[in-house]
A and B are shown apart, each in its own frame.
Chain A
Amino acid sequence: MSNTPETPTPMSRRSLLGRTAAAGLLATPVVGLLGACATSGSDEGTTKAEEGTKSATNPLGAAEDAPLEVVIFNGGYGEKYATDVHEPLYKKAFPKAEIKHQSTQAVSTVLQPRFASGNPPEFVNNSGEKLIDFGSLVADGQLMDLTELWDAPSVDDPNKKVRDTVVPGTVEAGSFNGKPYVLYYVSTVFGIWYSGKLFKDNGWAPAKTWSEFTALLDGIKSKGITPYGYAGANAAYYQWNVILTHAAKIGGTDVLKNIDNLEDGAWQQDAVKQAAQAWEEIGAKYVDKSFEGLKHTDVQLRQNQYKLALYPSGDWLEGEQKKDTPAGFDYQLMPVPSLTGSDKLPATAVRATAGEGYFVSAKSKNPRGGLEYMRQMLSVAGAKGFTEVVKAPTVVTAGSQGFAFPPGVASSQAALAAAGKDVFNLYFDGWYKELDTEARTATNELMFGRIKADAFVERIQKRADAIKKDSSVAKFTR
């Protein structure tokens, strides 16, 4: 049976047990009863949701005095932005509401049992290594549809809908089969990072074309610095991101759309093959073989020590490396260079998206309060406050204006502006974790010289086909 987000089909505990007994397996009543402990369905745990009256200041109809439980992933961005900025904003709007704040580094460990028992918290920052798979949350009908939030008037200008206050693509980034379920809040630009200082000292310039790029890498190599590298031990996806960004530039954004939609032969499209071939050569010539055994922190540190010149990442990099970056290092972003003159997208095109996911639990007691909390987050005050605390731009357009970003984020914001409409994104890694894993493994095989581009696209395609055939995996399209 297939589970699609449109038709969540929760099976009742009774019918499951009935079938268990019918199958004649494990039919002892004790096992059946115990079986209900860990896998109990959410069909019975739903309580009636709290609702308040809608008004101009409360367009989403949140209950004024209902408590709101907020769970924040305490990772790179910490939890201070929630306790110091967003929660006070909500409290200001609803003085009678009580906020229960909780932070964790292992979201799924803490929340999986809460979902299984039908008592999830209202608002969740689902992020980090132990995030709960968004795809299965959506497929299980656990997430609140955010359409109402995006169509609600914004906090700062009642004539403007919330969806019009954010960077284009934000709603889509959190949509599953066309329905918005997740708020991705932090604006993220991907590219290849270098030290402005190192480049200036050596008279190097960021490359726009492939020949410039290889010439640059040769120049760096002749100085005894590792030209290019990423961490194979745990961050191979930083590199598949580069390969796919390159593919999108070569063949247009539909290349990625086909991959996301699990179209037949999507990974074997010419653009993907060409990109893989180009990077296979880079891997063979310019990447230090030992990087396959290093973690991202090690490789990033080497860049800070000027032992590595170019490193692919997103614009969280600068903040992440803050305490290791020497003075004057000057992080700068270079978009992935174009391959030939006939590329479909210009060299300035970048992959940009909204990152850091937040959702409201549909089966919580006060889901409308959760929606309202999001609306407060998306106010200018909420966004400005976030940016000031964590030094990262949000998706709220007016929130970053006039803020003096550090050089790296400033350069990625400039790249985003220069890209204009040539901004794209990809989603398969969030939708199908297995495909992400396969792409990571295959990327290491490719970049460290164990397979060729043909084998690279072939093996990932094989996994994509298997996922397409697997009826237990919820499918998404865009």
Chain B
Amino acid sequence: MRHGKYPFVIGFLFAPVTLYVVFVIAPYAQAFQISMTNWRGLSAPQWVGFDNYRRLLDDGRFWQAVQHHGVLLLALPLITIAIALFFAFLLNVGGRSVGGQRQGVRGSKFYRVVFFFPQVLAVAIIAVLFQMVYRPNESGLINGVLMKIGLDPVLFLVRPNLALWSIIAVLVWQAVGFYVVLFSAGMASIPGEIYEAAEMDGASKVMLFFRVTLPLLWDTLQVAWVYLGIAAFDAFAIVAVLSVDSGGPDGATTVLAVEIYRNAFVYSKYGYASAMGVALFFLTLTFAALTLRLTKRESVEY
């Protein structure tokens, strides 16, 4: 190695690593420390060991939130990826074949822009928007129409067994656009000859999708799954703004971030909230590790 290489590397790394340590690593570490105290936010905290974690075990709301993350973890990626794949397929290779080159459906350029719209809106705005959509009386977007044609209004966010699915619908609506673009990019890099060859052999569109597109898109799908899984561990903004009684009715839509927020900033129980944060940290980490391990598969070279 050439003389003076290390000072050069260190000189370059110093600033970003310091920033990262101070603003990312240190707060994480501190959350671990605070979770072992009964800090109430004002005076010096007192060490309580694992008391907060023991309390977590008996906290019904905490487990309710964890359970909702379980539902989100299955539903959000599955539904989002399914819809996004379907749209991406239609936009890229679902149409006629022109000069041997597969095309998207008519107007696909326009749809691509439209699908991306929700991604451009701030999350809080989406939540407020859906307050209008879900509003349980005649001034709601959906219920207004239902009541005009003489039906009873659907209490989307109020019925305990409907509320979480109403929230999931919003999350999916918001996420789909991004993944359509992501999958489109992935599909664009699949060589046209493969489709051509498959078509010559008489493959139908459905077969094309399952036998050609899907396997060649595996890496992208894997990334999408991890992203969506992590999003499923968040969902804070939508739940906090959109749900009834923040996470209600009776905790039917609550998620960990909402409980953390409530314990920290409403009850001033920062120690306990940090313990929940640490739990969430490990849940997310476990999920990411598991997903990467389970979906590991030889990628197809082309």
- Seen from chain A, the residues whose Cβ lies within 8 Å of a Cβ on chain B are 1, 3, 8-13, 16, 19-20, 23, 25-26, 30-31, 34-35, 37-43, 108, 112, 115-116, 130, 132-133, 136-137, 139-142, 232-234, 236, 288-290, 292-294, 433-434, 437, 440-441, 444-445, 448, 450, 472
Complex: A132 Cα to B250 Cα, angstroms: 25
CB <8 Å contact, B32 and A26? yes
Q: Chain B: interface secondary structure?
A: loop
Is B26's CB under 8 angstroms from A31's CB? yes
Q: A20-B33, A293-B135 are in contact. Are A445 and B44 (CB under 8 A)?
A: no
Q: Mark each residue of chain B from 230 to 261: 1 if its CB lies under 8 Å from any CB of chain A, else 0.
A: 00000000000000111011110000000000
Q: Let me know if A16 and B44 touch, CB within 8 A.
A: yes
User: What is the distance, in angstroms, from B142's C-beta to the closest C-beta of chain A?
Assistant: 12
**Which residue of the partner chain B has the closest CB to A11?**
B44
* Interchain CB contact under 8 A, B248 and A444: yes
Cβ–Cβ contact B45 & A39, under 8 A: yes
Chain B positions within 8 Å of A34 at CB level: 22, 26, 29-30
Q: B155 to chain A: which residues have CB within 8 Å?
A: 289-290, 292-293
B158 touches A293 (CB 8 A): yes
B122 interface residue per 8 A CB criterion: no
CB of A290 within 8 A of CB of B39, answer no
**Complex alpha-carbon distance, A377 and B178, angstroms:** 56
Residue of B whose beta carbon sits closest to that of A466: B58
- What are 16 sample pairs from A and B whose C-beta atoms fall under 8 A apart? A1-B46, A9-B46, A13-B44, A16-B44, A26-B32, A34-B26, A38-B34, A39-B44, A112-B41, A132-B268, A133-B268, A136-B268, A293-B135, A293-B156, A293-B244, A472-B272
Which chain A residues lie closer than 8 Å to B39 at the CB level?
Answer: 39
- Knowing A136-B41, A290-B137, the reply to whether A433 touches B266 (Cβ < 8 A) is yes
**Is B192 among interface residues, defined by CB-CB distance under 8 A?**
no
Contact of A115 with B42 at beta-carbon distance under 8 Å, contacts A23-B49, A293-B135 already known: yes
Instruction: Name the distance in Å between B163's Cβ and chain A's nearest Cβ.
Output: 9
Interfacial chain A residues near B63, Cβ < 8 Å: none
Complex: A31 Cα to B248 Cα, angstroms: 37
- Give chain A residues whose Cβ lies under 8 Å from the Cβ of B137: 288, 290, 294
Chain B residue contacts of A11, Cβ below 8 A: 43-46
B69: interface (CB < 8 Å): no
Extra pairs beyond A19-B47, A133-B40, A441-B248 (19, CB < 8 Å): A11-B43, A12-B44, A20-B33, A34-B22, A38-B30, A38-B34, A39-B45, A41-B44, A42-B44, A108-B265, A140-B42, A140-B43, A142-B42, A233-B245, A290-B136, A290-B153, A290-B155, A293-B135, A472-B38
Does residue B157 face the partner (Cβ distance < 8 Å to A)?
Answer: yes
Q: Report B36 CB to chain A, min CB distance, Å.
A: 7
CB closest chain-B residue, reference A120: B42
Report chain B residues within 8 Å CB of A16: 37, 44-47
Instruction: Give the contacts of B127-157 with A (CB-CB under 8 A).
Output: 134-137, 153, 155-157
Query: B68 interface residue, CB < 8 Å from A?
Result: no
Q: Please, how many residues of chain B have a CB less than 8 angstroms from a CB on the other chain?
A: 46
Q: How far, in angstroms, from A26 to B37 measured CA to CA in the complex?
A: 13
Q: How many angstroms from the CA of A325 to the CA of B196 in the assembled complex?
A: 69
Name B20-62 residues within 8 Å CB distance of A.
Answer: 22, 26, 29-30, 32-34, 36-49
The docked-state distance in angstroms from the alpha carbon of A31 to that of B47 is 15
Q: Given the complex of chains A and B, what is the CA–CA distance between A236 and B249 in angstroms?
A: 11
Residues of B within 8 A of A115 (CB): 42
For B26, the chain A residues whose CB sits under 8 A away are 30-31, 34, 37
CB contact between B245 and one of A30, A41, A132, A232 (< 8 Å): that residue: A232
CA distance A1 to B30 in the complex (A): 22
- CB-CB under 8 A from A433, the residues of chain B are 266-268
Contact B43 A141 (CB under 8 A): yes
CB contacts (< 8 Å) of A472 on chain B: these are 38, 40, 48, 269, 271-272
Given A290-B155, A292-B244, A293-B157: A26 in contact with B43 (beta carbons within 8 A): no
Q: How far is the CA of A35 from the CA of B30 in the complex (A)?
A: 6
CB distance from A98 to the nearest CB of B (A): 27
CB contacts (< 8 Å) of A41 on chain B: these are 43-44
- CB neighbours (8 Å) of B158 from chain A are 232, 289-290, 292-293, 448
Q: Is the CB of A10 within 8 A of B153?
A: no
Tell me if B41 and A236 are in contact (CB < 8 A): no
Q: How far, in Å, is B265 (CB) from chain A's closest CB?
A: 7
Nearest chain-A residue to B157 (Cβ)?
A293
Q: Are A444 and B245 in contact (CB under 8 A)?
A: yes
> Nearest chain A CB to B147's CB is how many angstroms away?
10
A41-B250 Cα distance, complex, nearest whole Å? 36
Evaluate contact between B46 and A441: CB separation under 8 angstroms. Answer: no
How far does the alpha carbon of A16 sit from the alpha carbon of B46 in the complex, in Å?
7
Q: A20-B47, A289-B158 are in contact. Are A441 and B250 (CB under 8 A)?
A: yes
Task: Tell me, yes or no, whether B205 is within 8 Å of chain A by CB.
Answer: no
Cα(A139)–Cα(B42), bound, Å? 10
Tell me the smallest distance from the CB of A280 to a CB of chain B, in Å.
Answer: 16
A290: chain B residues within 8 A (beta carbon) = 136-137, 153, 155, 158
Q: Which residues of A contact B33 (CB under 8 A)?
A: 20, 25-26, 31, 35
Q: Are B245 and A441 in contact (CB under 8 A)?
A: yes
In the complex, are the beta carbons of A437 and B244 less than 8 A apart? Answer: no
How long is the Cα–Cα vector from A280 to B14 in the complex, in angstroms? 65
- CA separation between A103 and B245, bound complex, in Å? 28
Q: Does B262 contact A (CB under 8 A)?
A: yes
Is B104 positioned at the interface, with any CB of A under 8 Å from its CB?
A: no
Complex: how many Å from CA A19 to CA B48? Answer: 10
Q: Which residue of B lies closest to A31 (CB)?
A: B29
Contacts of A1 in B (CB 8 A): 38, 46
